[in-house]
Structure 1
Amino acid sequence: MTDQPLTGLPASGLPDRALVVGDPERAAAVAEQLTDMRPIARRREFHTYLGSWRGESVLVSSHGVGSPGAQCLFEELAEGGVSTIVRLGTTGALQPGIEDGDLVIADACIRDDGVTVQLIPPSYPAAASPEIVLALQEAAVARGAAFHRGIVWTRAAFYPDLVDLGLERYVEAGVLSIEMELSALLVFAARRRLRAGGVLVVDGAAADGLRDGDGYNPHREVVADGVRAGVGVALDALVAVSR
């Protein structure tokens, strides 16, 4: 059977659960925790592994940085048979009390992802599947992981320039954090009648009043500890939801 064009994934026969991350190296590290793991596709930024977690068959795939490329992975995962997708990523805090290494579980996202506005009107919501949200929350509680739950801002521009993108407005509105891909996943999943959600690890502060003088540095042990916690929470939740 011919592999799919962008990711190299098989065109059918994939397990129904997938964990997606941005960094191919993170995908490899997560996959090392699976039982009977083996790589099944590696093309561009899309690296995918098959294994099992708590007796359930799962995929771990990377999608790179930004929603347009991530959308390609989501499409081809679904085409191959995946029906439940959890994104594990990193995020910048927008509210006081959200510390580096904490987890953010998204109820919904603001759609500034740069791609879904070309697919469906902007009034269409980017909402996580309730059963995924609850499974993530229960897994975080069971593992004793610090977490926050609420609205996340998905934005295409990592480094903003001349255009005011509304940071202060969203901070005042209580948006928890900012990242780059989750709203694309949630919109895609809703349109395809799939289940999806996301848990994000705080790797710094994105709001002006919360930033320290050292600048953005995600390569710290407190963030690595958060990622390790997030991996367990994401995998536990992924296999906890019933088919």
Structure 2
Amino acid sequence: MDIVAMHIANGIVDGPVSALFTAFAAGALTVCVWRARADLDDRLAPMAGLVAAFIFAVQMLNFQVLPGVSGHLLGGTLAVVLVGPWVGALCVSTVLIVQCLLFADGGLTALGLNITNMAILGTAVGYLLVAGLMRMLPKTPAGVGTAAFIASVVGVVVASQGFVLQYWMGGTTELSMPAIAGTMAGMHTLIGIGEGLIAATTVATVARVRPDLVYALRRFRTAPAVEPVPVAGGVL
């Protein structure tokens, strides 16, 4: 039986824990909607639609990681690099909701679990890493691509450990937690490398053609030096 990495099905985690993370996801998305209102403009709004459509399309394409195990792009880091953390989390959440309701990809009762791991935890870690890396790397297509690659690998692995925590809190079968954590980390390291290559290639390409559309380049570019202002008797 093939396992699609990260998408949690119904019954894997018990009802109370699923309900807890559904409430957490709903609260986090409410904050994202509130904060995203300040970011959305005539340039970012259509870009957000394109990002969501791209993530949806690529998530439908699975690649083999191990025998019987396939993985796909999660999209969190790609989204935050292009449209920022608040809008990015909403893009990934929209994809997960559509996949769950229309394609039964991930259980309905597990939707809060999946949103927490992939749309909230994955994007948060990806954004924090990109923010740190872009303060050290050159603000170029290669620089933002490198940041996207590193953040993608780490973000995917951390998101996988979100499932480990959820399973520890309410898993419906008795399994070795160290074994689950190790297996998820190892498998998602490989998935993260694949995601990192896709994300790096995508954002570097966009940055070469339209750097103004890459949120990370706009947000973390070096502030221009302030020119001295002449005043009577000297400069200000």
TM-score clears 0.5: no
Instruction: Point out the structure with the larger helix share.
Output: 2
**Rg larger in structure:** 2
More strand by percentage: 1
